[in-house]
Amino acid sequence: MNSDNNEQQQIIYTGREPPTDPVFQIVYRDEDFVAVNKPFDVNIDDDGKDRINTVVKYLESQYPEMKDNIRFVNRIDYATSGIVFIGLKRKSTNEAAELFQKRTTTKTYLAIVHGHVVVNENDADNVINKPIAEDFSDQGGFKMCIGIDDPANPSKAGRQSETHYKVVQHTYLNDGSNRPVTKMILYPKTGRRHQLRVHMHSIGHTIVGDETYGPKDPLSERMMLHSWKLQMPFTKRPHLSLETLDPFTEMYIKK
């Protein structure tokens, strides 16, 4: 008897594959700026590699006149979806970049995190104020962590980082696992690498599908973090208020 017919072959999950046909959306466009709703698991640019789907390649294919004029004002992680703001002229790009540097923009993210987050009843807008540093234990040099005081290595202290958050809904994943999750609104006041991911992980509520700071998750098709809204309070031009659709509907979570 052939044992191959009697034994099930175990499938080993090694991580998500990038989308083969990602859908980009133009959120805003004028002669100075363009804002793109970036799909999840898509890179901003090639970064020295010959990637098929990137924000840059999408824009250059749709608007050939933008070639060599694309200047990113903000960036979001590969696994994060949502608003990416881009300048098309040097002067206007500098104007927008200054707003980010002075922290006068309002960035609003949506997230689905593991567990039911309990908020302070006396403060509807809770705050995580913890420094973020490079994780020197990560051989790939990719991960970040909460900073610690180490007189022998001051770089471990990290940089001041602040995130405000609000709980929207306690619910459960709609992937068959019925895992408890919380839908949240996150407001990063600073812009550190992986800030929202590290801060949520630090309070015991890792973002669903975040396989860098959480376990491998074959049931989640994506990391559930989305750059939802962006307000740009320009002083020499009209203010911009950008918004995308909420991607975290009944497809991902129960009502």
Q: What are the residue numbers of the active site?
A: 77
Q: What are phi and psi of 133, to 5 degrees?
A: -130, 170
Calpha distance 155→136 (Å, rounded): 10
Determine contact, residues 35/28, Cβ cutoff 8 Å: yes
What is the rounded distance in angstroms from the CA atom of residue 127 to the CA atom of residue 112? 17
Asked if residues 133 and 187 have their Cβ atoms less than 8 Å apart, the reply is: no
Residue 171 near residue 253 (C-beta atoms within 8 A): yes
Q: Are 117 and 184 a contacting pair, CB within 8 Å?
A: yes
* Cα of 93 vs its chain's centroid, Å: 22
- Count Cβ atoms within 10 A of the Cβ of residue 71 and give its class: 0-12 exposed, 13-18 middle, 19 or more buried: middle
The residues near 103 (Cβ < 8 Å, ≥ 6 apart) are 189, 190
Rg (CA), the chain: 20
Nearest Cα residue to 28 out of 237, 255, 248? 237
